[in-house]
């Protein structure tokens, strides 16, 4: 029973469910939750509303936005959660999202950009970075996942962001970088544990 629990993507499923519930609430509350949770230079850096860096990860602008993010999050997250474990996966997800949002805020401040951003895209890109680190450095083969496939997926995701409009590409690149570095740390820790067990 314990082994069965470890293999289930409970964290990924919970994050997806929470996002869907919050999006449903947004439909009925209009712009209120968006105004309370988006990240922008004035509210976060000037007014010190730092919670927005986390809350914005649960807000989405429309059905295509949330569907795309949640599909990628669940299926890619399920693979990572199985490899890294529930707690480690949760930490990597939120660190990637927060890191992506901080990079976004830095880019907005430098460019005097007063626009607001929402969405889990930074965290989703972070998962892609984690997956790349795992397939490169974990020392274990992951079924149907290869470095070339992960790199191709990342390039497609980046291309979609930079070729489209109203995408927070700073959050994407920031999340990807934080996720990759976090994945590298996980690989180092796991290899260290494996070495001591031999």
Place of tokens 């994050």: 15
Q: Which of 56, 96, 121, 138 is catalytic?
A: 121
Query: In CATH, what number is assigned to the domain containing residue 47?
Result: 1.20.1540.10
pLDDT 10s digits, 146-174: 888 889 999 998 988 888 888 899 999 99
**pLDDT bracket for residue 195 (50, 70, 90):** low
| Overall pTM > 0.85 | yes
Active site (annotated) includes residue 172: yes
d(CA 50, CA 45): 8
Helix and strand totals (H; E) in the chain: 10, 0
Active site (annotated) includes residue 60: no
Q: Which of 56, 60, 138, 172 is catalytic?
A: 172
Domain count, the chain: 1
pLDDT at 98: 97
> Residue 192 sits in which domain range?
2-197
């Amino acid at each position: 029973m314990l082994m069965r629990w470890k293999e289930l993507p409970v964290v990924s499923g919970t994050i997806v469910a929470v996002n869907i519930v919050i999006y449903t609430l947004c439909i009925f509350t209009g712009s209120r939750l968006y105004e309370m949770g988006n990240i922008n230079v004035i509210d976060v850096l000037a007014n010190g509303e730092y919670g927005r860096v986390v809350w914005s990860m649960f807000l989405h602008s429309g059905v295509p936005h949330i569907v795309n993010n949640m599909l990628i999050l669940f299926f890619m997250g399920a693979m990572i959660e199985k490899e890294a474990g529930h707690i480690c996966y949760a930490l990597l997800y939120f660190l990637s999202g927060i890191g992506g949002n901080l990079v976004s805020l830095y880019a907005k401040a430098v460019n005097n950009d007063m626009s607001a951003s929402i969405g889990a895209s930074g965290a989703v890109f972070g998962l892609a970075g984690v997956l790349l680190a795992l397939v490169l450095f974990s020392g274990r083969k992951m079924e149907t996942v290869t470095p070339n496939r992960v790199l191709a997926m990342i390039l497609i995701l980046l291309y979609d962001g930079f070729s489209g409009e109203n995408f927070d590409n700073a959050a994407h690149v920031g999340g990807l970088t934080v996720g990759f570095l976090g994945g590298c740390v996980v690989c180092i820790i796991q290899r260290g544990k494996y070495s001591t067990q031999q």
